[in-house]
Chain A
């Protein structure tokens, strides 16, 4: 500690250690918090088509088009350890050939500082709702779920599943629009 450089080294190393301890403290204060919030999903229109699917092994597959409304208040999820939220809407159903199918239809990134109250109307799905085969037609039960991934400043990234679900049957014939 006799020279300026030696004192500066000591000071800087101590500051970094203290900063690391503070970051760990930040993680500990929010590690066990429940990140679930009720969300409201409402589907207004569903249309089904049977089209050529070049990514799959067969000639034609079912393709669904969903129009939905989404509202949720995400303000309680944000705290000082949350950088952003990654939301995604997924559809889950079972068919004769596969017992469990999960397809992501739409996603959104909500940064801290943006408006956390979601109120989306008449949203179209962002990604193609292709089925592995023809299992969407006359399917009795397709469940849409909104889940999210919390991206923190420090610590683990919890995946919060299923806040708000809605189940609906799909139309019996192709190229017909079913309204709810």
Chain B
């Protein structure tokens, strides 16, 4: 069953990860401040906890799934060099063998 979940792509590029981290930290901090002030005014700490939980849920929805805004700066990999298989793979092996005998 786990293989189904592993096959869903959930990657983000580096700038996207940084953006996601800033987003969830900002949302949770803002909801913490709002919750603290609201709980202090109505004299019930329970409401502070509820507001922080709402902030947690909102940032879950915003940062856990890999939205397209987190994939705007993909890494530019080098183009694939077509392999001239036989010769290039043998040469490194020969040099390795010579070094071992010494």
Contacts and interface: CB of A to CB of B under 8 A. Distances in A.
Contact of B48 (A3, A7, A15, A26): A26
B36 A22 contact: yes
Contacts of A19: 32, 49, 52
Contact of B44 (A2, A18, A22, A80): A80
Interface of B: 10-12, 17, 20-21, 24-25, 28-29, 32, 35-36, 39-40, 42-45, 48-49, 52, 55-56, 59-60, 63-66
A7 B52 contact: no
Nearest to B25: A14
Given A80-B40, A81-B45, A22 B35 contact: yes
B29 A3 contact: no
Contact of A14 (B24, B39, B43, B44): B24
B17 A2 contact: yes
B20 A153 contact: no
A8 B64 contact: yes
A160 to B, nearest CB: 19
A7 B60 CA distance: 9
A8 B29 CA distance: 17
Interface of A: 1-4, 7-8, 10-12, 14-15, 18-19, 21-22, 25-26, 29, 78-81, 153-154
Given A80-B40, A80-B43, A4 B32 contact: no
Given A7-B63, A8-B60, 13 more contacts: A2-B11, A2-B12, A3-B11, A4-B66, A10-B21, A10-B24, A11-B28, A11-B59, A14-B28, A22-B35, A22-B48, A26-B36, A80-B44
A10 B65 CA distance: 14
A150 to B, nearest CB: 15
25 contacts: A1-B20, A2-B11, A3-B11, A4-B66, A8-B60, A8-B64, A11-B56, A11-B60, A12-B56, A14-B24, A14-B25, A18-B29, A18-B52, A19-B32, A19-B49, A19-B52, A22-B32, A22-B48, A22-B52, A25-B36, A29-B40, A80-B40, A80-B42, A80-B44, A153-B45
A11 B24 contact: yes
B43 A79 contact: yes
A1 B21 contact: yes
